[in-house]
Amino acid sequence: MIAPDSSDPRCACKGVRRCLVCEQVKGTSHLEPSEPEVVHHFLYNPETRLAVSDDAEALSFPFPGVFLWENFISEAEEKALISSMDQDVWNLSQSGRRKQDFGPKVNFKKKKVRVAGFSGLPALSQELVLRMQQEPSLSCFQPVEQCNLDYHPQRGSAIDPHLDDSWLWGERLVTINMLSDTTLTMSLEQGLPELGLGGDVQVALHLPRRSLVVLYDEARHRWKHGIHREHVHERRVCSTYRELSAEFLPGGQQAELGAQLLDMALSFQGTPI
């Protein structure tokens, strides 16, 4: 089935979430989230692994927990991946996104996982996972879930700053960025008092097209991550891979379920659920 056009007039936004589609119908006044009064902007330098201030003071600080692999996939691989994704249904998601899920059904509030409907990661991901594992820091990375997200400026696509669940998902979040460059914004609402910074601290992490980025350590558990609408200039598709937490690995309370999920995921016979 061919994916619907990027200008799909439907909308899946709820609560404070918003996109251009719902703004045209409902307006923006009741949907606008409150903006922090003070924002300190920094830019991540992947060579020095420092967050560098964009103001005249040139303040900088170490920013651990980010690994960037440029040109992780080739142009031909990117074309094949997008073509394969567009043969499946893209489901509407909030804030103007569309998505495809390859993973178990999860109720994070009740901490329940359902295997029903999960058939594994897609076949085209097998070679990509093997390539990831060639990087020493990802040598034991075994993804159990893959989420494809589609962003488009016509829909005002974005994703609010958030922390991924850590009950089910493990230490590393691995994302492949496709079709266009973008900026991943890392944010810390409580500021950095040790540096004398109150208010919201934001670190811009530039993601080149066809790159892979890994968030771990403080970038995974302390700093929220999101994509601002103004940083989506062209269609952008990303695939995020998540591993299991210690609770679902050998020795954990739910190791048996974890083993079952991994066996299914790494069969690479999956279809979107």
pLDDT band at 104 (very low <50, low <70, confident <90, very high): very high
Under 8 Å between Cβ of 50 and 59: no
The pLDDT value recorded for residue 22 is 86
The pLDDT value recorded for residue 121 is 98
Other CB atoms closer than 10 Å to residue 2's CB: what's the count?
A: 9
Under 8 Å between Cβ of 90 and 98: yes
The pLDDT value recorded for residue 56 is 53
The pLDDT value recorded for residue 18 is 84
pTM for this prediction: 0.92
- The pLDDT tens digits for 9-56 are 678 898 888 898 888 776 654 444 555 578 999 999 999 999 999 775
- Of 32-36, 94-98, 112-116, 229-233, the range with the lowest mean pLDDT is 32-36
The pLDDT value recorded for residue 5 is 53
Nearest to 226 by CA among 46, 94, 115: 94
Domains of the chain by start residue, with CATH:
38-265 (2.60.120.590)
Average pLDDT, the chain: 92
How many angstroms separate the CA atoms of 11 and 98, rounded?
A: 10
Say yes or no to pLDDT of 133 above 90.
Answer: yes
- The pLDDT tens digits for 142-192 are 999 999 999 999 999 999 999 999 999 999 999 999 999 999 999 999 999
Say yes or no to pLDDT of 74 above 80.
Answer: yes
Q: Determine the average pLDDT of the residues in 119-134.
A: 97
The pLDDT value recorded for residue 20 is 87
Q: Which two tokens stand for residue 47?
A: 């060579």
User: Which regions of 119-228 does DSSP assign to beta strands (E)?
Assistant: 143-151, 159-162, 169-178, 182-188, 200-207, 212-215, 224-227
The pLDDT value recorded for residue 4 is 45
Say yes or no to pLDDT of 2 above 50.
Answer: no
Under 8 Å between Cβ of 171 and 227: no
pLDDT band at 88 (very low <50, low <70, confident <90, very high): very high
Helix (H) or strand (E) holding 112: strand 112-114
Q: Determine the average pLDDT of the residues in 209-222.
A: 98
Say yes or no to pLDDT of 105 above 50.
Answer: yes
